[in-house]
Structure 1
Amino acid sequence: MSREGGVDPIRPRASLRTAVVWEVLRGALERRAKAADRPELDVLDTGGGTGNFAVPVARLGHRVTVVDPSPDALFALERRAAEAGVTDRVTGVQGDTHGLLGDVEPGAYDVVLCHGVLEYVDDPAEALRNVVGALRPGGSLSLLAAGRGGAVLARALAGHFAEAQYALSDPDGRWGAGDSLPHRFTAEELTGLVGGTGLRATAVHGVRVFSDLVPGVLVDTEPGALEALLRLELAAAEEPGFHAVATQLHVLAERD
């Protein structure tokens, strides 16, 4: 994995949350462009919201379609794309994974992003099948979802031991009735869902292994702490032993 890029000086804490996924995604885009023998790829970002990933991908020169159910998010996406000078490469479509293949052309995309979607839908398997249906042969899927183990650890460290135990045994990884997420996943569950669509998982990464647990005052005031934490996150992401405690899990998969 590349170690280039560093921390965004304007949104340093946000960089910690996205750095691992961005480095993996950027590498996947480079490989797919080389395999397709063309510099511009067609990328679909399902649930892409305001363009946290779509706009940077467009700045690399790719064409990005963002599908999101929120008109407010799509309006913010349009403004963000304009500010970045990539309006001609970013298209917003109002919709969701349930009717995705009616909103976009099936089998038309080189890379599909499904970030922060499966934890909210009623049927994660159906949603993922629809997402994968938009991929071309040889295409790549970038899947990001909430991790069960990270929630268990976070509740325990906060002193909510009963909720931590509940999340540990609950089929959906929820810590109780007040939990805002319908689903959380283990790495095995996510790769199983990916395999069920016919794709081959090529890499699994733990995301936000440490950054959600480290006190913000330490990162913000200790010289060099932010960069050091970023390097630690990037290194730990590839270690399977840390997947079980990551706040999020990222799966990269390919259609043969």
Structure 2
Amino acid sequence: MSRPSASLRTAVVWEVLKDALDRRAKSADRAELDVLDTGGGTGNFAVPVARLGHRVTVVDPSPNALFALERRAAEAGVAERVRGVQGDIHGLFDVVERGGCDAVLCHGVLEYVDDPAEGLRNAVAALRPGGGTLSLLAAGLGGAVLARALAGHFAEAQQALAAPAGSWGDGDPMPRRFTAEQLTSLVTDTGLEVASVHGVRIFTDLVPGLTEESESDAEEALGRLEAAASVLPAFHSVASRLHVLAEVR
């Protein structure tokens, strides 16, 4: 018995992002894009994006994460395509150029900043005015409420449901969570057009272990289920994470 793999938990986001980058490259008539990964940490997305042939700048406040990013990029043979700089989304233009990116990844950032709207405006301002893609990934409120309830922590589930930031208490490691409507509203307020919304980790965070006869077959079946449910609005409300893809109008 084992937990679903990390690659399965991010598979939906990766497929959407990869397709979006392919479309952006064709639209820009350039094989190599300039991609900014805010809060990109150790390169979970930056390194695979670099493997596609794009240049990636990772902005992260943690020196340790950036050191791990450098090592990971070198091991993957893409060190020349990945650059790590220390900083955060509120001081983004202290370390990167405004309006210089074809795509911006803002994954796991808005949950931790004091002002999500301001942080997102900075991310969008990094996009080229003539055309750019935003990939936004954030914690979902409904998934946390469901998880606490299924674990028997009913009071915490109710607290998360009622709290403005979606936190279930002092021990909650996640300062803020969002509904799909809140995220899409933040995006459209920046002037971007929402292209798609996907629910992420709808089932994988709830599966205690893969116990079917063939673990690989079980993971493959779970992946297909995640992909099928991710596009259905009814499942966005119970997803652990929400992914919004948006474009410069």
TM-score (norm 1): 0.94
Please give the alpha-carbon distance, in whole angstroms, between the structure 2 residues aligned to 1:224 and 1:30: 29
Instruction: State which of 148, 151, 165 in structure 2 corresponds to 1:155.
Output: 148
Q: Is the 8 A contact 1:101 1:133 kept in 2?
A: no
Structure 2 residue ranges without an equivalent (≥5)? none
Q: Is the 8 A contact 2:141 2:166 kept in 1?
A: yes
Q: State the partner residue of 2:217.
A: 224
Q: State the partner residue of 1:51.
A: 43
Q: State the partner residue of 1:244.
A: 237
Does residue 53 of structure 2 align to residue 76 of structure 1?
no
Q: State the partner residue of 1:28.
A: 20
Does residue 104 of structure 2 align to residue 104 of structure 1?
no
Letter in 2 for 1:84: A
Q: State the partner residue of 2:114.
A: 122
Distance 1:83 1:192, change over 3 A: same
Instruction: State which of 137, 159, 163 in structure 2 corresponds to 1:144.
Output: 137
TM-align CA RMSD: 1.4
Percent identity, aligned pairs only, is: 75
Structure 1 residue ranges without an equivalent (≥5)? 1-10
Please give the alpha-carbon distance, in whole angstroms, between the structure 1 residues aligned to 2:91 and 2:221: 43
TM-score (norm 2): 0.96
- Matching of residues 12-27 of structure 1 within 5 Å: 13-27=5-19
Q: State the partner residue of 1:8.
A: none
Please give the alpha-carbon distance, in whole angstroms, between the structure 2 residues aligned to 1:237 and 1:122: 29
SS in structure 2 at match of 1:136: coil
Shift of 1:219: 6.3
Please give the alpha-carbon distance, in whole angstroms, between the structure 2 residues aligned to 1:247 and 1:43: 26
Letter in 2 for 1:249: L
Please give the alpha-carbon distance, in whole angstroms, between the structure 2 residues aligned to 1:105 and 1:15: 31
SS in structure 1 at match of 2:245: strand
Shift of 1:232: 0.6
Q: Is the 8 A contact 1:219 1:226 kept in 2?
A: no
Distance 1:159 1:15, change over 3 A: same
SS in structure 2 at match of 1:224: helix
Distance 1:220 1:63, change over 3 A: farther
Large movers: runs of 4+ above 3 Å: 219-223
Instruction: State which of 169, 176, 179 in structure 2 corresponds to 1:176.
Output: 169
Does residue 182 of structure 2 align to residue 189 of structure 1?
yes
Give the total of aligned pairs. 246
